[in-house]
Structure 1
Amino acid sequence: MSARTMCRIKNTQRIFSATRPLLILVLILLSQNVQAELKLCLAEADFPPFTFKVDVASSEYKGYTVELIEYVSTHLERPIVIRKFPWKRCLFLLERGEVDIVADAYHDVQRAKKFYYSRPYYKMTPQFYYDQRVFPDGFPHASGPVSLPEYRGCGIQGYSYEHYGPGYNRLIKSASSLVQLFWQLARKRCDYVVEELEIVEGVNLLGPSIIDLSNIKHARPESARSPELHFIYSKDRAIDAKIIADINVAIQSFINSGQASKVMEKLMRP
């Protein structure tokens, strides 16, 4: 081996020795960056005022939950990547560990067997809706219509209605969206439908012609409790407990700072 070749080898070794700590640091940072990203699934169907498309042609979503996610991401100093799928698909991906978080989940006993829940970030107002032309004297709801087996109540596929009280499991859940749910009511496929007040009012803000409520009355079922919205995490593939705790801190800060109220007031303003 020539002296010139030996010299080149030694120079290469010196350069590698000098840059090795930097290369290791870069690899560590890249590894941390990969670990830092959280994947969150949102139901792709409009769920105003919490998540909804800016316009029909857009893939951009806005709403209370979207702003909360941005707030949490800033608080954690971690990017949160949002993926959008049908609600049941989101739950499937969460169970498989393909996403870390699913947003806008109600609490129910069966779901709690599989998932951890964040602290609640919004309390909803349960309602049932009926056609006043069919029930001109009002709807009998002493303890909530879901407790009356002689009436057909309807809900949306994959949604939890446990908070509506005894008889909730008799609800016909064949609608794929809120629009289809009220279409079923208009076509007398159902005697009543159940949905939270904030959601129906939110849809009306998107456009008064989306759901025709001109002959529709609504009331709060006496037996219903107010459902709350949560983030959920898989028990089998849960993210780090500290991250879950930090998300809870961020949610509480979002509420206590008044930011939550400001966001909702802005969204619900006609």
Structure 2
Amino acid sequence: MTTQATAGRLESVSSYIDPYPGRKGRERIVETCGRCGGTGVYNAPSRVTFYTSAVNDITTGCFSCAGTGVRSFLVSSARQTARRRAKEADRSRGIAAQIAYAREAFMARHGAVYESLAEQHAQLRHNDPLRSRIGLLLESAEESHTGKTDINDWRAAAEAVLEEIAIREEAKRPVPTGRIEIEAEVLSTKWVENDHGGSLKMLLAGAGWKVWGTVPRSLDFNDRPPRGHRIALTATIEVSADDEAFGFFSRPTKARIVAVPHIAEED
């Protein structure tokens, strides 16, 4: 049975229950107001007052019962309200079932890939571009029940990201440490706030390793985006505690630009 058919079947089974079985529709029901407990008075702070028959005075009357302390309605009206609410509840139940069955079908076919993406998303650093791509794929998977996600395209994109991660992991090398000179490519820059106002940080990529640190003031990108520039500098590098291919550089000196990224000429 298809997801839509299952949801439609659930929605077609009405949850309506007659609130007054055996009573005629033209009969009138009088009951104590549930909002004010029959007092006819609105107990919360309010500047709105009117004549309240329940206390025979002008006060902050209850709007639900108009200050009478009771609610009066026809049985037919109560049944109409009950049918409307039951219909809304049945529709919501049908939609929830449709989503549940769609997700179940998705996970049955692509669950292993989805779990691999989720695991990588949790392990990658927040400033890693691949983490952002995986995040978008996970969001698309969660919305797959809407029909707006092409599952075949999703699967291809997910496998491409996982393959890219595998290739990158295989190419990883231990980050060089100590006070050394390095040459690397600028992957990204980010302004980071601190107690002293903040500083511009950058992520550098070397031969199988990456380092993170403060952009030296002596570096001049000539008003061009830093990404893609190849730079050289001398700095003290310490390896990360959880990844031997990632490190942090400090006290950078002798920074210079080795190569600038190529910019395609506009037509």
Into which bin does the TM-score normalised by the smaller protein fall? under 0.3
Q: TM-score, normalised by structure 2?
A: 0.25
Greater share of residues in helix:
1
**What TM-score results when the alignment is normalised by the length of structure 1?**
0.25
Structure with the larger RCO, 1 or 2 (CA within 8 Å, 6+ apart): 1
Larger proportion of strand: 2
